[in-house]
C-alpha cells in the first residue's frame, strides 16, 4: 500500500507542489511509497451529484471522470495527504469539488467504509491570512477523523504574504514537510 498525496494547486512549481514533494521524500524515508496526484491534471471533473448510487453499489462512485480512479486509489491506500491553497479564506474550488466526492466513502448509515486508522495529513498554503490557513487545515483534519475514522498525523500551513512567486521566506517549512511525511 502507499500514501496518496493529493495536490489541488494549479501552479507548476508552486508552494503546494514543492511542499508535497518534500512530504513524499519523508514518506519514502519512512519506508513507504508515495504517489503525488495533481488534481489539475485529471481533466474535466464533476462535482458529487448526490445521486446516492454509491450507497447501492458497495460505496463506489459511479461518475466517470478523473477523480473516480483517484477515489479507488485512496480507498486502497494506507494514508492520504491533502494539499490545498486557500482562496477567500476557504479551500480552493478544485479541492472542494474533489473532497465532496468523499461522499462515496460513507455507507447508507453515514458510516465510513475506510478501515479504521488510515493516516491523514493536511497542508494548506496561503498568500495571506495564516489564521484562515490554520482554520482550514484543522477543519479538514477533524472531518477526516470524525467522519472517516482516520488517524491525523498533523497539519502544516504556509503563508507567503508579499513574497515573490515561488520564493520561500523560510526554508524550514520544507524541513517540517519532510518530518510530516516521515510520520506515515
Tell me: the pLDDT tens digits for 63-72?
999 999 999 9
Report how far residue 82's alpha carbon sits from residue 123's, in angstroms, rounded to the nearest whole number.
6
Instruction: Please name which of 67, 154, 158, 145 lies closest in space to residue 104, comparing C-alpha atoms.
Output: 67
How many structural domains comprise the chain? 1
Residue 11 near residue 42 (C-beta atoms within 8 A): no
Give 130-158 pLDDT, tens digit per residue: 899 999 999 999 999 999 999 999 999 99
Q: In this structure, what C-alpha cell is assigned to residue 71?
A: 477515489
CATH number of the domain bearing residue 58: 3.40.50.360
Report how far residue 139's alpha carbon sits from residue 128's, in angstroms, rounded to the nearest whole number.
18
The reported pTM is 0.94
Q: What is the pLDDT of residue 168?
A: 65
Give 73-110 pLDDT, tens digit per residue: 999 999 999 999 998 899 999 999 999 999 999 999 99
Domain that holds residue 85: 2-182
Amino acid at each position: 500500500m502507499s500514501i496518496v498525496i493529493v495536490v489541488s494547486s494549479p501552479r507548476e512549481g508552486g508552494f503546494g507542489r514543492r511542499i508535497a514533494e518534500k512530504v513524499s521524500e519523508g514518506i519514502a524515508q519512512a519506508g513507504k511509497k508515495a504517489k503525488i496526484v495533481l488534481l489539475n491534471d485529471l481533466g474535466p471533473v464533476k462535482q458529487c451529484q448526490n445521486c446516492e448510487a454509491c450507497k447501492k453499489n458497495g460505496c463506489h462512485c459511479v461518475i466517470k471522470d478523473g477523480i473516480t480512479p483517484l477515489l479507488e486509489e485512496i480507498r486502497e491506500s494506507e494514508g492520504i495527504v491533502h494539499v490545498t491553497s486557500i482562496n477567500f479564506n476557504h479551500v480552493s474550488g478544485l479541492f472542494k469539488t474533489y473532497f465532496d466526492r468523499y461522499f462515496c466513502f460513507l455507507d447508507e448509515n453515514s458510516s465510513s467504509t475506510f478501515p479504521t486508522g488510515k493516516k491523514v495529513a493536511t497542508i494548506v498554503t496561503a498568500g495571506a491570512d495564516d489564521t484562515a490557513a490554520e482554520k482550514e487545515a484543522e477543519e479538514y483534519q477533524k472531518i477526516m477523523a470524525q467522519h472517516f475514522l482516520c488517524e491525523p498525523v498533523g497539519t502544516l500551513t504556509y503563508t507567503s504574504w508579499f513574497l515573490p512567486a515561488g520564493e520561500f521566506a523560510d526554508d524550514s517549512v520544507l524541513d517540517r514537510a519532510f518530518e510530516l511525511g516521515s510520520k506515515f
